[in-house]
Amino acid sequence: MNILIFGPPGSGKSTHSRTIVERYGLTYISSGDMIRAEISAGTELGREMARYIERGDLIPDTVVNTLIISRLRRHRRNFIIDGYPRTAEQVLALENYLYDHGLSIDVALEIFISKEESIERISGRRICPRCGAVYHLKYRPPKVPGKCDVCGADLIQRDDDRPEIVARRYDLYIKNMEPIIKFYRKQGVYVRVDGHDSIEGVWERIRPLLDYISARESPSRERP
C-alpha cells in the first residue's frame, strides 16, 4: 500500500502517519525529517539545502526530488510520504518514478481542517525554551499558567506559531495544494477526511479505508 498524506498546519497528519506506519508496516518518508537529517549530517546535499534555507529561499524541486526518489529507490513499495509532492514538478518526478517501476499511489489522503481550527490549534502552543516540553493553552495547559511543569521556566510561543504566521502558512498550503489535489482526484485516489475531531475520532475515519485497501492487496492477512 502506497500512501501520500497531507493536511494544513495543525491537521495532525504526523501523528496519524506514525499510527499508519505501525499498523500497516509501511516506510515513513517525511520530506521535512529528511531535509533536517541531511542538513545535520552535513552531506553535500545537506549543505546545499542549508544555503537555500539561510537565504530564506525555497529548496528547488530538483533537490527535493533527488532526496525523495533516492529514498524510494531503497524501499520500493509500501510507503507513506508526508510533505511531498508540493509542486507540479514534484508530482511529475514522483509519477514518472512510480510509472517506471510499475508502482502507483493507492491513496492521497488529506486530513482537512478549517483556517480557524488551524490557527486555534497552532497558536495555542507554548514551548519551554529550557527543556523543550510542549503545551497547549486549551488542550494541554501547564499546571501554573505560563510556567513549565517540568522545570519551571517561563513558556514561550515560537515565532512560527503566531496567528498571523499560521494564517499565512494555511493560505500557502491551500494555494500550493489545489492543483495537486485536482491531479490525484482525477486519478481517483484522493480522499479528504474531516480533521475537526479528536485524534481518536479522526483515526476511526482513516482506519476503515486503509484496512479495506490493505485487505484488497493481501487478502490472506487478517487484522483485528
Residues marked active site are found at: 13, 86, 125, 158, 169
Q: Is 131 in the site for Zn ion (CB under 5 A)?
A: yes
Closest CA to 53 of 65, 72, 40: 40
Q: Is 128 in the site for Zn ion (CB under 5 A)?
A: yes
Q: Is 53 in the site for Zn ion (CB under 5 A)?
A: no
Query: Looking at beta carbons only, is 86 or 125 nearer to Zn ion?
Result: 125
Query: Looking at beta carbons only, is 1 or 128 nearer to Zn ion?
Result: 128
Query: Looking at beta carbons only, is 21 or 133 nearer to Zn ion?
Result: 133
Closest CA to 164 of 119, 125, 116: 119
Q: How far is the CB of 121 from Zn ion (least distance, A)?
A: 21
Q: Site for Zn ion (CB under 5 A): how many residues?
A: 8
**Judged by CB under 5 A, which of 130, 147, 169, 207 binds Zn ion?**
130
- What is the C-alpha to C-alpha distance for residues 37 and 31, in angstroms, rounded to an integer? 10
Query: Looking at beta carbons only, is 88 or 151 nearer to Zn ion?
Result: 151
Q: How far is the CB of 165 from Zn ion (least distance, A)?
A: 23
- What is the C-alpha to C-alpha distance for residues 217 and 104, in angstroms, rounded to an integer? 13
Q: How far is the CB of 127 from Zn ion (least distance, A)?
A: 9
Mark the segment that binds Zn ion (CB under 5 A) among 6-14, 24-32, 130-138, 180-188: 130-138
Q: Is 134 in the site for Zn ion (CB under 5 A)?
A: no
Q: Which parts of 144-173 interact with Zn ion (CB under 5 A)?
A: 148, 150-151, 153
Q: What is the 3-state secondary structure (H, E, C) of the chain?
A: CCEEEECCCCCCHHHHHHHHHHHHCCEEEEHHHHHHHHHHHCCHHHHHHHHHHHCCCCCCHHHHHHHHHHHHHHHCCCEEEECCCCCHHHHHHHHHHHHHCCCCCCEEEEEECCHHHHHHHHHCEEECCCCCCEEECCCECCCCCCECCCCCCECECCHHHCHHHHHHHHHHHHHHHHHHHHHHHHCCCEEEEECCCCHHHHHHHHHHHHHHHHHHHCCCCCCC
Q: How far is the CB of 147 from Zn ion (least distance, A)?
A: 9
Q: How far is the CB of 154 from Zn ion (least distance, A)?
A: 9
Query: Looking at beta carbons only, is 32 or 146 nearer to Zn ion?
Result: 146
Q: Which residues bind Zn ion (CB under 5 A)?
A: 128, 130-131, 133, 148, 150-151, 153
